[in-house]
């Protein structure tokens, strides 16, 4: 789950990091008043889950309260990379001496957090990685020991020659790592970490993603979710406890178990089709989940056929069959249904389906081939 800049900055402040002040507003009048309170000038920044806001015109410097109001009005009406702006962050303008990049993420290859720093901050770090990779310095952190003070200082010397700045930089790096660990983040970055003309190291941008699997034990972070950034299908899936990823194809897939869902998508591809989604209804026996799954799949206008692939273990086939029958009655869709059921309570499941005028096969190959044929033919 991605956080907005202002939310990420609050997490950074909680570990004591030096972060520039700011307040979030939703209307130009409030932006004007805040700029006034900052002594007349202000930075106005779009709060959207997208990088490159500066390039897209979503970060503007205002030299008067009136200008801050105008910028806020323009930015609040914008979309950045398809995301509508609902809030702007207003901060006093900082005098920038230098801009650095500091980030930490999980490196799956080494199964460790990796810190990355670059003196070439402010710009897109992906650009630096492509054009000038030696300008990015990496350090793998052994999670058993955490980040050691000399390691943080070593990284900071890559950013600053002056010892006073380097020790402030080391503090910011250590605090970033602390915030990353404390909040169950999968990624945390500061770009730019500035040194002000007066010699203060300060985070003026912040980006944090929380690992979704950490949210259940961190309700205070789960509450930061911005519902406007989530599609209706994603929200419905999350609320129903389904693992759902929308893809671009036309074969709607409803499967129990992530492994079987992956295998099903592979087979759809093998027969020349394109899956419309990954959808795992999980191992539970709950017809409501099946209804939710069908609502989500049928709400995608690209879907031409619905493919059920259920291997009954803990999941009972009769529960899935009941869910399918209920969903057909409740939603009343026209799309062809292709069903494969095998395993626990397969026989009652077939009875339930045939009483409702539906049929189920037991071969996975056959149903997938048929579904692809129906979707393309
Ligand atoms: P991003 O483009 O989404 O990463 O947004 P940033 O917060 O990083 O802002 C983009 C750029 O705007 C920064 O790299 C700075 O160059 C500039 N900027 C942001 N805040 C300030 C500020 O307080 N003072 C000055 N002079 N420039 C700023
Ligand atoms: Mn930035």
Tell me the CATH number of domain 23-93, given options 3.40.190.10, 3.30.565.10, 3.30.1490.20, 3.40.50.300: 3.30.1490.20
Examine the pLDDT at 66 and tell me if it is beyond 80: yes
Concatenating the DSSP letter of every residue in 212-225 gives: GGGGGG-HHHHTT-
Tell me the CATH number of domain 1-20+95-229, given options 3.30.300.30, 3.50.50.60, 3.90.1170.50, 3.30.470.20: 3.30.470.20
Q: If you ran DSSP here, which 8-state letter would residue 92 be given?
A: P
Q: Is 15 helix (H, G, I), strand (E, B) or coil?
A: coil
pLDDT at 59: 97
Judge whether 369 counts as a catalytic residue.
Answer: no
Whether 102 and 206 have beta carbons less than 8 Å apart is answered as no
φ/ψ (deg, to 5) at 109: -60, -50
Topology match between the domains 1-20+95-229 and 231-376: no
pLDDT at 286: 76
How far does the centroid of ligand 2 lie from the alpha carbon of residue 187, in Å? 14
pLDDT at 255: 95
How far does the centroid of ligand 2 lie from the alpha carbon of residue 92, in Å? 16
pLDDT tens-digit map of 224-278: 999 888 888 998 998 999 999 999 999 999 999 999 999 999 999 999 999 999 9
Mean pLDDT of 184-201: 97
Question: Percent of the chain scored above 70 by pLDDT?
Answer: 99
pLDDT tens-digit map of 81-122: 888 999 999 999 999 999 999 999 999 999 999 999 999 999
pLDDT at 141: 98
Element (H, E) at 95: none
Q: Counting every residue, how long is the chain?
A: 377
Ordered by start, the domain boundaries in the chain are 1-20+95-229, 23-93, 231-376
Q: Which residues line ligand 1 (CB under 6 A)?
A: 43, 45, 51-54, 59, 93-94, 96, 99, 122, 191-192, 204-205
Examine the pLDDT at 201 and tell me if it is beyond 90: yes
How far does the centroid of ligand 1 lie from the alpha carbon of residue 190, in Å? 11
Q: Report the distance separating Cα 8 and Cα 186, nearest Å.
A: 13
pLDDT at 332: 84
Examine the pLDDT at 212 and tell me if it is beyond 80: yes
Instruction: Pull the structure tokens for residue 329.
Output: 């009655």
Query: Best of 53, 57, 62, 96 to mutate for ligand 1, by most ligand atoms within 8 A of CB?
Result: 96
Secondary structure E strands in the chain: 23-25, 42-46, 59-62, 79-80, 83-84, 88-91, 96-107, 112-118, 136-140, 185-196, 201-203, 207-210, 243-246, 251-255, 277-280, 305-312, 337-343
pLDDT tens-digit map of 271-328: 999 999 999 998 766 788 889 999 999 999 999 999 999 999 988 999 999 999 998 9
Nearest atom, ligand 1, residue 123 CA: 14
Question: Percent of the chain scored above 90 by pLDDT?
Answer: 88
Backbone conformation region of residue 110, classed left if phi is above 0, alpha if psi is from -120 to 50, else beta: alpha
Averaged pLDDT of the chain: 95
Whether 73 and 30 have beta carbons less than 8 Å apart is answered as no
- Name 194's Cβ contacts closer than 8 Å, sequence gap at least 6: 94, 96, 97, 98, 99, 100, 121, 201, 202, 203, 204
pLDDT tens-digit map of 342-351: 999 999 999 9
| Cα three-residue angle 148-149-152, rounded to 5 degrees | 90
pLDDT at 81: 85
Domain 231-376, CATH homologous superfamily name and number: Succinyl-CoA synthetase domains (3.40.50.261)
| pTM of the predicted model as reported, rounded to 2 decimal places | 0.81
pLDDT at 284: 65
Cα dihedral 50→117→98→177 (10° resolution): 80
Nearest atom, ligand 1, residue 205 CA: 7
Q: Report the distance separating Cα 369 and Cα 307, nearest Å.
A: 10
């Amino acid at each position: 789950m991605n956080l907005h800049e202002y939310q990420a900055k609050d997490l950074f402040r909680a570990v004591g990091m030096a972060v520039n002040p700011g307040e979030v507003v939703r209307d130009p009048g409030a932006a004007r008043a805040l700029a006034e309170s900052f002594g007349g000038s202000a930075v106005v920044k779009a709060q959207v889950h997208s990088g490159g806001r500066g390039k897209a015109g979503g970060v503007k410097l205002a030299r008067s309260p009136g200008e801050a109001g105008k910028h806020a009005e323009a930015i609040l009406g914008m979309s950045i990379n398809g995301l509508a702006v609902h809030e702007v962050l207003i901060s006093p303008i900082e005098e920038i001496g230098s801009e650095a990049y500091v980030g930490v993420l999980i490196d799956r290859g080494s199964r460790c957090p990796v810190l990355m720093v670059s003196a070439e901050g402010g710009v897109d770090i992906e650009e630096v990685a492509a054009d000038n990779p030696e300008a990015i310095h990496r350090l793998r952190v052994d999670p058993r020991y955490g980040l050691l003070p000399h390691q943080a200082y070593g990284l900071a010397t890559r950013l600053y020659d002056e010892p006073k700045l380097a020790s402030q930089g080391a503090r910011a790096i250590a605090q970033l790592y602390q915030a990353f660990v404390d909040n169950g983040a999968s990624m945390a970055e500061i770009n730019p970490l500035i040194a002000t003309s007066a010699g203060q190291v300060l985070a003026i941008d912040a980006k944090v993603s929380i690992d979704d699997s950490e949210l259940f034990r961190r309700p205070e972070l789960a509450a930061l979710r911005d519902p406007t950034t989530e599609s209706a299908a994603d929200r419905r899936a999350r609320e129903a406890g389904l693992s759902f990823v929308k893809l671009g194809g036309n074969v709607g897939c409803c499967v129990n178990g992530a492994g079987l869902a992956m295998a099903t998508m592979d087979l759809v591809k093998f027969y020349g089709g394109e899956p419309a989604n990954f959808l795992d209804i999980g191992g539970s026996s709950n017809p409501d989940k099946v209804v939710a799954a069908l609502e989500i799949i049928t709400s995608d206008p690209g879907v031409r056929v619905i493919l059920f692939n259920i291997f009954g273990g803990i999941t009972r086939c009769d529960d899935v069959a009941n869910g399918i029958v209920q969903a057909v009655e409740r939603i009343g869709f026209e799309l062809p249904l292709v069903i494969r059921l095998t395993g626990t309570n397969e026989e009652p499941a077939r009875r339930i389906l045939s009483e409702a005028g539906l049929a189920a096969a037991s071969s996975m190959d056959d149903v997938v081939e048929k579904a692809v044929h129906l979707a393309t033919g």
